[in-house]
């Protein structure tokens, strides 16, 4: 099957679940239960979006949200808000190192949380050229520090001891 490129001329997207959409093509074909996925989630939120079925096979592709009609673009953005919900770390309260595993307690925009980090070299990433830091815990949850320069001095010191 050839790749289907979706824009406002070829089809419409409708949100049907927390992070699923239905694609209705202009020719009448309907593809249900598709999951939108960003191909570049850290650097580009509005371009290069794959629409995957339950087997994670690509059914269609969106080059740019700006090429969709407003309702379709909104459907994708709503799915992304749920699927890519990444708490923002605003303060590092404590860091403990036990046998190579880190235990962090942080304050986020969603409240205080404690989590473990197994591999500090792979799971704490400074996105070079930006002030952003992405942290992944042992359960594969992600957290973001949007701008490490805005952290208080103690939080920055704790963060940089592991970067």
3-class secondary structure per residue, 75-130: HHHHHHHHHCCCCEEEEEEEEEEECCEEEEEEEECCEEEEEEECCHHHHEEECCCC
pTM (2 d.p.): 0.65
Per-residue model confidence (pLDDT) at position 121 = 87
**Average confidence (pLDDT) over 58-70:** 97
Domain ranges for the chain, please list them.
4-83, 89-160
Per-residue model confidence (pLDDT) at position 127 = 87
Q: Is 128 helix (H, G, I), strand (E, B) or coil?
A: coil
Structure tokens belonging to residue 28: 């009448």
Would you say residue 162 has pLDDT above 90?
Answer: no
Parallel, antiparallel or unpaired: strands 111-117 and 101-108: antiparallel
Q: How many CB atoms lie within 10 A of CB 71?
A: 12
Per-residue model confidence (pLDDT) at position 1 = 64
Percent of the chain with pLDDT over 70: 99
Structure confidence by residue, pLDDT tens digits, 70-116: 999 999 999 998 887 889 999 999 999 988 889 999 999 999 999 99
Integer Cα distance of 86 and 39 in angstroms: 16
């Amino acid at each position: 099957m050839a790749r289907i490129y979706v824009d406002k001329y070829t089809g419409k997207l409708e949100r049907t679940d927390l992070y699923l959409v239905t694609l209705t093509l202009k020719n009448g074909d309907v593809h249900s239960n598709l999951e939108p996925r960003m191909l570049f989630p850290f650097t580009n939120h509005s371009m290069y979006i794959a629409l995957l079925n339950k087997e994670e096979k690509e059914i269609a592709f969106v080059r740019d949200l700006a090429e969709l009609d407003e309702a379709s673009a909104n459907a994708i953005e709503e799915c992304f808000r749920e699927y890519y919900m990444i708490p923002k770390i605003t303060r590092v309260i404590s860091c403990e190192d036990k046998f190579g595993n880190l235990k962090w307690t942080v304050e986020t925009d969603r409240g205080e949380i404690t989590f473990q980090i197994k591999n500090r070299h792979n799971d704490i990433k400074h996105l070079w050229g930006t002030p952003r830091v992405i942290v992944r815990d042992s359960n594969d949850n992600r957290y973001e520090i949007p701008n490490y320069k805005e952290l208080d001095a103690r939080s920055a010191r704790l963060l940089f001891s592991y970067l």
